[in-house]
Structure 1
Amino acid sequence: MRANWRLKLSVLAGASALAVSVVTVTPALADDAPGGLQEVQMPADVEILEGVAPAPETAVPFTGAGPKAAAASHACLGSTSVYGARGCFQHSGDIVWARDTEKDGMSAAIGVYTDYGRPAAVCINRLGADTWATCNKDYREDGKVRLRVMRYDGGNGKFYQPETWSGWIPVDGQY
C-alpha cells in the first residue's frame, strides 16, 4: 500500500515538473505575433536613417526576394529576423537592408552597432509591408558591425520588441 502511494506521488511530481518546464521554457517563434508591445531602449545618440526603396533593377541579396538574385560579392551577411522585420548587411557598399514583413502599421528597424565606438544608427523601412528598404553608410573596413532587428512605431517614435541581434559581421566581408 505504501509503495503504491509513493509511486503515485512521484508520477504526480514528475508530471507537474514537466508541465512547469513546458510553460516556462517554450520560446516564442519568430512568426508568432507579439502578445504585447514592450519598448526597447535605444542609445541617446542613435542616428535615425530613413530607408529608401532599391531601384527596380537592384540585385536583392536574397534569392527569390526580388527581380534577380545578387552576386556573391553582393551577398547579405548576418541575416536576422523577428516577427515583422528582417535585416542584413551587404559588405559591398556598406548597405543595410531592412524588410517589413507584416501589415501591422509598424515599420522594420535595423540597428547597426560597431566594434570601434561609432554611435549606433537605425535604418527604418517606412515603405510598408512586403517591401525592402536600404540605408547606405560608410563603415571602417577593418571594423565589424552587429545588427539589432526590431519594430518601430512612427506615430510615437519608439522601438519595440520582439528584437534579436546578429553576430559580429566584418565590414569587409572576410570572415
Structure 2
Amino acid sequence: MRANWSVKLSVLAGASALALSVVASAPALAEDSSGGLQEVQMPGDVEIIEGTAPAPGTADPLSGGTFKTAAASGACLGTTSTYGVKGCFQPGGDIVWSRDTEKDGMSAAVGVYTDYGRPAAVCVNKLGADTWATCNKDYREDGNVRLRVMRYNGDNGKFYQPEAWSGWIPVDGQY
C-alpha cells in the first residue's frame, strides 16, 4: 500500500511539473499585437507604391491561365511567398506582382531591392484578398533585384512578419 502511495505522488509531481512548464513557456500576447505578427523595420527612404489591378483577361503570372482581373503575360521569376502574400518579378517590362492570399484586413507587400544601390521600393496590394496587383518600375537591365514579401497594415503604415526573401533575379531575365 505504501508503494502505491509513492507511485501516486510521483505521478502527481510529474503532472504538476508538466502543467507548470506549459504555463511558463506560453508567451503572453501584447494588448496591441497585430494578430501575433511582428513589425518589420524598413529603410527610411523606401518608396511605397500602391499596386494597380491588371487588365481583365490578362494571364496569371504563375499559372499562365487567365483570370477576371489579374496579372501580366510572360514568365514571372523569383516567386516568393509567406503567410498572406505571394510575389514575383516579370522581366521585360520590370513588373512586380503582389498577390494577397489572406482575408485578414492587411495587404500584401512585395519589397524590391537592387544590387546597384537604388533605394528600395514596395509594391502594396490594397485590392483585397485573392487578388493580384502590379507595380511597373524601370530597373537597370544589367542589374539584379531581390524580392521581400510581407504583410502591410494601411491603418498604421507598418509592415509585418512573417516575411520571406527571394534570391537575386536578373532584371533582363537571363540567368
- Flag whether TM exceeds 0.5 (same fold): yes
Does 1:143 pair with 2:143?
yes
Contact 1:63 1:70 in 2 (8 A): no
Letter in 2 for 1:111: G
Aligned to 1:38: 38
Letter in 2 for 1:63: S
- Tell me the CA shift for residue 70 of structure 1: 6.6
Deviation string, structure 1 residues 83-124 (Cα, Å, up to 9, x no partner): 100000000200000000000000000000000000000000
Does 1:110 pair with 2:110?
yes
Count of residue pairs brought into register by the alignment? 140
Moved over 2 A (4+): 64-71
Aligned to 1:121: 121
Aligned counterparts of 2:47 and 2:120: Cα–Cα separation in 1: 6
Kindly tell me: are residues 37 and 67 of structure 1, through their superposed partners in 2, closer, same or farther at Cα, counting changes over 3 Å? closer
- TM-score (ref. length: structure 2): 0.76
Aligned to 2:62: 62
Does 1:173 pair with 2:140?
no
Contact 1:62 1:70 in 2 (8 A): no
- TM-score (ref. length: structure 1): 0.76
Any gaps of 5 or more consecutive residues in structure 2? 1-33
Query: Cα RMSD over matched residues?
Result: 1.9
Of all paired residues, the percent bearing the same amino acid is 81
Letter in 1 for 2:99: R
Any gaps of 5 or more consecutive residues in structure 1? 1-33
- Tell me the CA shift for residue 66 of structure 1: 3.3
Aligned counterparts of 2:104 and 2:130: Cα–Cα separation in 1: 11
SS of match in other structure, 2:53:
coil
